């Protein structure tokens, strides 16, 4: 769910409905089915907080790293050997069943990311970037198949994109919270 704020800013509020009134039972059931893979264990008890959303981010990251939607007992590095084993701790901390053992905030979660962005996507000088993109496009098929988009590169791409989005949402939220206080 995204709330549009003044000045055309958006802020992520939740990955799904946290509480639904009784009169909307059918809708709540449908939405629960839609988000069930991403809902935290405490969702059913109604005792949700910001760590519930961090659980959802952890599930999303697990899916981006491994290509699997169901979280089992297997660590991400077991499913995809090219993944740095440090991600195992990060993912397990994010998706642990006990909310008290999860990251306390999105800032703490972001600070503990084991691999710097520069290692996930190498930075090329601007002149090399154009030639690199052209060389990649020369031999590329016009349309990519499903197999081509499920390679580790694309899994990392979506993970990086989701990490950037979470960080951006956190930054925007902090700006919205603290900038008006500065102007007062």
Any idea which of 52-56, 61-65, 127-131, 168-172 has the lowest mean pLDDT?
A: 127-131
Query: Quick check: 7 pLDDT over 50?
Result: no
Closest residue by Cα to residue 59 from 50, 49, 68: 68
Is residue 99 scored above 50 in pLDDT?
yes
Is residue 31 a contact partner of residue 119, using CB atoms and an 8 Å limit? no
Find tokens 């995204």 and name the residue. 2
Helix spans in the chain (H):
25-35, 50-66, 76-79, 86-94, 106-111, 117-120, 126-138, 146-149, 152-183
All structural domains of the chain, each given as residue ranges with its CATH number in brackets, are: 36-138+145-172 (1.10.510)
* More reliable by pLDDT, 27 or 122: 27
Output 147-154 pairs: Cβ under 8 A, ≥24 positions apart: 150/67, 152/80, 152/82
For 20-61, the pLDDT digits (tens) are 445 455 566 666 666 677 777 787 777 888 888 888 888 888
177 Cβ neighbours under 8 A, 6+ residues apart: none
Q: Percentage of the chain surpassing pLDDT 90?
A: 2
- Pick the closest to residue 65 from 151, 164, 167, 169 (CA basis): 151
Mean pLDDT of 101-130: 71
Q: What is the mean pLDDT of the chain?
A: 70
- Report residue 2's pLDDT band, with 50, 70 and 90 as the boundaries: very low
pTM, 2 dp: 0.51
Highest mean pLDDT among 39-43, 64-68, 95-99, 176-180: 95-99
Residue 79 banded pLDDT, cuts 50, 70, 90? confident
Indicate whether 13 pLDDT > 80.
no
Angle subtended by helix axes 50-66 and 152-183, to nearest 10: 150
Please report which confidence band the pLDDT of residue 18 belongs to, taking 50, 70 and 90 as the band edges: very low
Q: Count other C-beta atoms under 10 Å from residue 184's C-beta.
A: 4
pLDDT score, position 14? 53
Give the C-alpha separation, 83 to 81, whole Å.
5
- Among 2-16, 36-50, 98-112, 151-165, the range scoring the smallest mean pLDDT is 2-16
């Amino acid at each position: 769910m995204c709330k549009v704020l003044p000045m055309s800013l958006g802020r992520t509020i939740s990955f799904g409905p946290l509480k639904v009134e009784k009169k909307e039972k059918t809708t709540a059931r449908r939405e629960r089915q839609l988000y069930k893979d991403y809902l935290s264990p405490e969702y059913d008890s109604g005792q949700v907080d910001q760590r519930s959303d961090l659980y959802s981010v952890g599930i999303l990251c697990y899916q981006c790293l491994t290509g699997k939607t169901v979280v089992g007992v297997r660590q991400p590095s077991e499913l995809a050997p090219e993944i740095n084993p440090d991600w195992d701790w990060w993912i397990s901390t994010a998706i642990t069943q006990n909310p008290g053992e999860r990251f306390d905030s999105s800032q703490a979660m972001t600070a503990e990311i084991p691999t710097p962005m520069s290692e996930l996507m190498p930075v090329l000088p601007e002149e090399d970037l154009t030639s690199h993109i052209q060389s990649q496009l020369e031999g590329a098929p016009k349309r990519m198949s499903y197999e081509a988009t499920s390679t580790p590169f694309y899994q990392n791409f979506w993970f990086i994109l989701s990490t950037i989005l979470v960080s951006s949402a956190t930054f925007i939220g902090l700006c919205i919270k603290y900038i008006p206080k500065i102007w007062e």
